[in-house]
Amino acid sequence: MVGTSNLGPFFFMIKTILLSIMKPTILVGGQAVIEGVMMRVPGAYATAVRDPEGKVHVDRHDFKSIVERSSFWKKPIFRGMAGLFEAMKMGMATLQWSADIAIPEEEDKKPSKLMDFLSSAFAILLAVTLFMIAPMWITTKLLDVEKEAVAFNMVSGGFRITFFVVYLFLISLMKDVGRLFQYHGAEHRVVYNFESGKNVDIPNAQSFPTQHPRCGTSFMFIVLLSAIIVFSIIDTIVMSITGHISLPIRLMVHLPMIPLVAGISYEVIKITARNGENVFFKMLRAPGLWLQNITTRKPEDDMVEVAITALKEAFGDQYEEMVGKEYVAEAIG
């Protein structure tokens, strides 16, 4: 006969699931921009930026995700792919707008569209070189594991994670990036404040942590882990068909798989966020939360004020109706 003491974890799990189901869900997230914060809510997003004179400017747009408009892109994994593309597109646009407000330039000194394109292309090339080519090249040169799919990807994945952490640490030493990370902390605290059901204001927001389980930093770490598994499977399939594999072949088959890796990672983040008390999921999200010690910093009150402004403007007339409820949120922000 099973003792009642042994049923404790079972009842706790059932209670957690029921509470999660009973709470309303909502997509609220955002990102830090230059001297400001972008907040995304159902149906819209708004960016609030403080200019050098101290005035807060707001740019709001109605927005309906393709995930909401298409049954195909609503499916698991595919919704993560679509969400990643939309987040990148939205992020680039809001960053550019924030730069125009926070760092005003004379019209004739603004970079041309060609320069913007070249800058973006260089950034993508640098990312591919640093996080794809370099880890695989080093693994190939240092260790004789090129034909061992799992071993190769575990080692190259380890290098990839190391490069990512070092990269974050190095850019965090820059003054401007430090302020960006403070706004990142402000964004997280305001999202936490909103989800808690408490009145959204500066004192309440400042009482919450700057680390958030659905942060883009945590998402990137899950992407790096998922890549090890997905790339190992892909390499095994390639070697079973062709009988061999090389660095160029790995690049050709790994790069197109990045959207798939992102889609899988999105689902993992959603599961870990909704199962916060589970020991396994706590361990899974711990490294991402630790990384946020680098990518988020304690914000100043005026930074939190900007984040609250972005949230209010994003909701618009619906704000008063939406606040004051405890939510299980669904966004990565």
Per the structure, the count of domains in the chain is 1
**Per-residue pLDDT tens for 207-227?**
999 998 888 898 999 999 999
Residue with tokens 């889609």: 263
- Whether 19 is covered by a domain: the verdict is no
- Whether 7 is covered by a domain: the verdict is no
Q: How large is the average pLDDT for residues 59-63?
A: 95
**pLDDT exceeds 50 at position 19:** no
User: Residue 292's CB: how many other CB atoms inside 10 A?
Assistant: 25
Q: What is the DSSP letter of 28?
A: -
The CA distance from 13 to 66, in Å, is 34
**Per-residue pLDDT tens for 79-135?**
989 988 998 899 989 999 999 999 886 554 566 677 777 877 888 888 889 999 999
**pLDDT exceeds 80 at position 8:** no
Contact status, residue 306 vs residue 51, Cβ threshold 8 Å: no
- Whether 3 is covered by a domain: the verdict is no
- Whether 10 is covered by a domain: the verdict is no
The CA distance from 330 to 71, in Å, is 18
Domain that holds residue 260: 25-105+116-329
pLDDT band at 12 (very low <50, low <70, confident <90, very high): very low
Residue 250 Cα to chain centre, angstroms: 26
- Whether 273 is covered by a domain: the verdict is yes
- Whether 189 is covered by a domain: the verdict is yes
Q: What is the largest CA-CA distance in the chain?
A: 82
- Whether 86 is covered by a domain: the verdict is yes
- Whether 304 is covered by a domain: the verdict is yes
